[in-house]
Structures are given as structure tokens and as C-alpha cells.
A and B are shown apart, each in its own frame.
Chain A
Amino acid sequence: GAVVSQHPSRVICKSGTSVKIECRSLDFQATTMFWYRQFPKQSLMLMATSNEGSKATYEQGVEKDKFLINHASLTLSTLTVTSAHPEDSSFYICSVPDRNGNEQFFGPGTRLTVL
């Protein structure tokens, strides 16, 4: 399957700071990438769909001004958590669909802890 990388794997920051998470598709170009979040003991929840060359599509309840998504190129999408607060502490993971859109390949995820 495709290789998807994420950076950083773990980040600890102070409340009020912004954190940028990168998701890279290493094997093929991706016009679409997905961002998920997982709170402890809960399932992966889709946050937004990142679209190359256009605005991201956010799921209901996800603040677009809080979670800025930039699909800078066909291999890179970034998620910026702005003015992070402790309740933003979570596991963030991205995925890249294959060319047919039938399978999704996941990155290893980023553990964000906001103090």
C-alpha cells in the first residue's frame, strides 16, 4: 500500500500556541486527503477533507478557523491547530485515498498534548 508520513509524531505545547501537523503522500499524488481525530477511548472521527487547490470541507462541529487546513501541493496537506487549548489534546491522523477512492492509506498519527 501507499506510504503516508506525518510530522511530528508527538508534540507538547503551551495553551495559546499554534501547532502545525504535516501529512505527506510519498508514493503518489493526492488531490484529496482526510484528517481524523481520536479522543481517548473513542473512535476515529473525520474532521475535514483537504482538497488540493480549493478550500477544505469541514465536518459538522469542527471549527474551520480553529483547525486550518492547507493542501499546499499534491503530496502535502497541513493541519494547523490555532490557539491550542487543553481540550484540543488528541490524536490526529491523516489518510490518503488511492486513485480509485476505494482504499485509504493512513499516516502514523500525531499525538498533541496541550498544557
Chain B
Amino acid sequence: ILNVEQSPQSLHVQEGDSTNFTCSFPSSNFYALHWYRWETAKSPEALFVMTLNGDEKKKGRISATLNTKEGYSYLYIKGSQPEDSATYLCAPSGSARQLTFGSGTQLTVLP
């Protein structure tokens, strides 16, 4: 899988704002879409793994949707908090289960 694109590249929001990011990927040879949250000096933390078209997953204030036919996924954060500041990575995987990462969206939540 090539050409994984994430937008925006960076984002500053005020505490309490809701925000969303986009991940687009080629829809061929698709197996799963992974979202990770990566804070500085820590290991990337898995948020969601989605496989089916139309999948929606939620974890607290964070949710994600998946459209495999058109090749995109959205990540939503409701009521952003400063502790949400991190880089959010998406990575589709193919049948070999290997991940191809986008360049990430760097989120800064201002208090």
C-alpha cells in the first residue's frame, strides 16, 4: 500500500473545541486501518483497528470511521483537552499485515 496521506499536517485548537483529521489511502489490497496516538518520548499507542467498510469505533471522546470503498478514514476528537496533544498516525495494512504509515497529524490543544 502506497500513498497514505493525512491532513492536516498540524493543527492548533483551543481546549474544548472538537476537531477531526483525515487519512486517505489506496483501497486496493486493503486489510485493516490502524490509528495510533504518539506522544513525544513515548511509544505509539494503538487507538483503533478497523477492517469493515462503514466501521465506526469509539474510545471515550475519540471516535473513528472507515470507508474502504473510497479509501478514507476520519478521526474525531470531541471536547479536546491539552492531554490530547500528540501526533495521530494512520496506517493501513494489506494482506501481509505490514503497516504503511502516513506522516501524521500533529495536534496541539491550547489551554
What is the interface of chain A, defined by CB distance below 8 A to chain B? 1, 4, 34, 36, 41-46, 49, 93, 95, 97, 101-109
Contact = CB atoms under 8 A, between A and B. Distances in A.
Contacts of A46: 98-100
A106 B103 contact: no
Given A43-B104, A45-B101, A106 B32 contact: no
Interface stretch (B41-49, B60-68, B75-83): B41-49
Nearest to B51: A102
Given A103-B34, A106-B44, A107-B43, A49 B98 contact: yes
Contacts of A101: 97
Interface of B: 4, 32, 34, 36, 41-46, 49, 89, 91, 97-104
A108 B102 contact: no
A95 to B, nearest CB: 8
Contact of A97 (B42, B43, B97, B101): B97
Contacts of B99: 34, 44, 46, 95, 104
A106 B39 CA distance: 12
A44 B101 contact: yes
